[in-house]
C-alpha cells in the first residue's frame, strides 16, 4: 500500500512539474536558461551541441576554431560566441551572468534586464535602459576589449570597484594587469591615479569602432555569422587614456 501511494505521489509531482514548465529537482544546476539558435563547432563538456539544443545553468559553452554559437535566453536577450571562445552561463541574484574565460562574446538586450558579462578582472553591463549591443573579448595576449555598438556600457574593475562609462560607438582596449579604471577629466589627475595604485599603469586605449567592426558585431548577434575581423586591427582611431579621457 505504501509503495502504491508513493508511486502516485511521485507521478503527481512529475505531472505538476511538467505542467508548470519548470524542473522539480535540480532547479539550481539543471535549469534550462537558454536555447541554441545557431551552432557550428559548439560544445559543452565535450558534447557537440546542435542548433535547437538547450543551455542549462552553469553550463560551459565553448566553440572550436572556425566555430560559433548564437544563444537566446528570452525574446529580448541573446548572446553570440565567436570562434575559440569559452563562456559559462549562470544565474546570480536574479541576474543572468556570462563568465568569459577565453575568446569573444557579443550580448544583445532589446529592453530591460539583459546579460552581465564577467571576466576574471572586469564586469561589463549596459549603463542605460533600452536597446544595448556590446562586445567583450579576452585576447590571446591577455588584454581585454570591450565595445559598445548600441547604448552606453559600464566597465567595472572587480578588485577596486572603479568603473568607466564607455560611450556608444566606442571601444576600450585594456592591457594585461592594468590597475584602476580611467577617470573622467576633472575627477583625478593621471599622477594621482597612478600613485593611488602604487605604480605607473599601462594606458587603456579608447577609440571609435570602425565600420567593419560595427558590421561584424551586428552580424554575429543577428544571424550568428562568423566574426570575420581581427579585433586589434579592425578597431580604429585609438587614443591613449591613462587614466584621463578628454
Q: Are strands 144-150 and 132-138 parallel, antiparallel or unpaired?
A: antiparallel
Kindly give, in sequence order, each residue whose CB lies less than 8 Å from that of residue 163, ignoring residues fewer than 6 positions away: 154, 155, 156, 157, 181
Cell of 31: 535549469
Dihedral of the alpha carbons of 218, 223, 228, 232, in degrees to the nearest 10: 30
Closest CA to 243 of 138, 147, 146, 172: 172
What are the Cα distances from residue 228, in Å, to 38, 73, 76, 149, 216? 17, 24, 25, 16, 7
Locate cell 508548470: which residue? 20
**DSSP-assigned letter for residue 187:** T
pLDDT (tens digit per residue) in 98-122? 999 999 999 999 877 779 999 999 9
- Quote the pLDDT of residue 221: 77
What are the Cα distances from residue 166, in Å, to 170, 173, 180, 230? 6, 11, 15, 21
Q: How far apart are CA 185 and CA 196, in angstroms?
A: 17
- Quote the pLDDT of residue 184: 53
- The DSSP result for 212-240, as a single string, is HHHHHHHHHHHH-----S-HHHHS-SEEE
Rounded to a whole number, what is the largest CA-CA distance in the chain?
80
What are the Cα distances from residue 105, in Å, to 7, 9, 198? 46, 44, 32
> How many other C-beta atoms can be found within 10 angstroms of the C-beta atom of residue 45?
9
Burial of 21 (0-12, 13-18, 19+ CB in 10 A): exposed
- Quote the pLDDT of residue 180: 67
Class of CATH domain 29-245: mainly beta
- Quote the pLDDT of residue 227: 53
- Quote the pLDDT of residue 19: 31
> How many other C-beta atoms can be found within 10 angstroms of the C-beta atom of residue 140?
8
Is 1 strand, coil or helix? coil
Series of mean pLDDT values for 10-residue runs along the chain (246 residues) = 38 31 41 92 91 92 92 92 94 89 92 86 92 92 92 93 93 83 52 47 83 80 56 48 40
What are the Cα distances from residue 56, in Å, to 31, 53, 86? 5, 10, 15
- Quote the pLDDT of residue 186: 41
Amino acid at each position: 500500500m505504501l509503495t502504491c501511494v508513493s508511486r502516485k505521489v511521485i507521478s503527481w509531482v512529475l505531472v505538476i512539474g511538467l505542467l508548470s514548465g519548470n524542473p522539480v529537482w535540480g532547479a539550481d544546476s539543471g535549469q534550462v536558461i537558454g536555447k541554441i539558435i545557431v551552432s557550428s563547432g559548439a560544445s559543452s563538456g565535450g558534447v557537440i551541441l546542435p542548433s535547437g539544443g538547450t543551455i542549462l545553468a552553469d553550463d560551459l559553452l565553448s566553440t572550436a576554431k572556425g566555430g560559433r554559437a548564437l544563444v537566446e535566453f528570452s525574446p529580448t536577450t541573446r548572446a553570440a560566441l565567436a570562434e575559440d571562445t569559452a563562456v559559462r552561463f549562470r544565474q546570480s541574484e536574479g541576474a543572468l551572468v556570462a563568465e568569459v574565460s577565453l575568446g569573444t562574446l557579443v550580448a544583445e538586450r532589446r529592453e530591460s534586464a539583459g546579460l552581465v558579462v564577467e571576466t576574471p578582472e572586469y564586469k561589463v553591463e549596459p549603463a542605460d535602459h533600452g536597446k544595448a549591443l556590446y562586445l567583450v573579448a579576452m585576447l590571446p595576449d591577455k588584454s581585454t576589449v570591450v565595445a559598445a555598438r548600441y547604448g552606453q556600457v559600464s566597465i567595472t574593475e572587480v578588485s577596486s570597484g572603479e568603473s568607466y562609462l564607455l560611450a556608444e560607438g566606442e571601444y576600450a582596449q585594456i592591457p594585461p594587469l592594468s590597475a584602476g579604471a580611467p577617470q573622467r577629466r576633472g575627477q583625478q589627475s593621471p599622477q594621482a591615479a597612478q600613485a593611488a595604485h602604487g605604480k605607473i599603469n599601462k594606458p587603456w586605449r579608447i577609440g571609435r569602432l570602425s565600420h567593419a567592426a560595427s558590421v561584424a558585431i551586428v552580424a554575429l548577434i543577428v544571424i550568428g555569422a562568423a566574426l570575420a575581423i581581427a579585433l586589434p586591427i579592425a578597431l580604429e582611431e585609438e587614443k591613449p587614456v591613462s587614466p584621463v579621457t578628454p
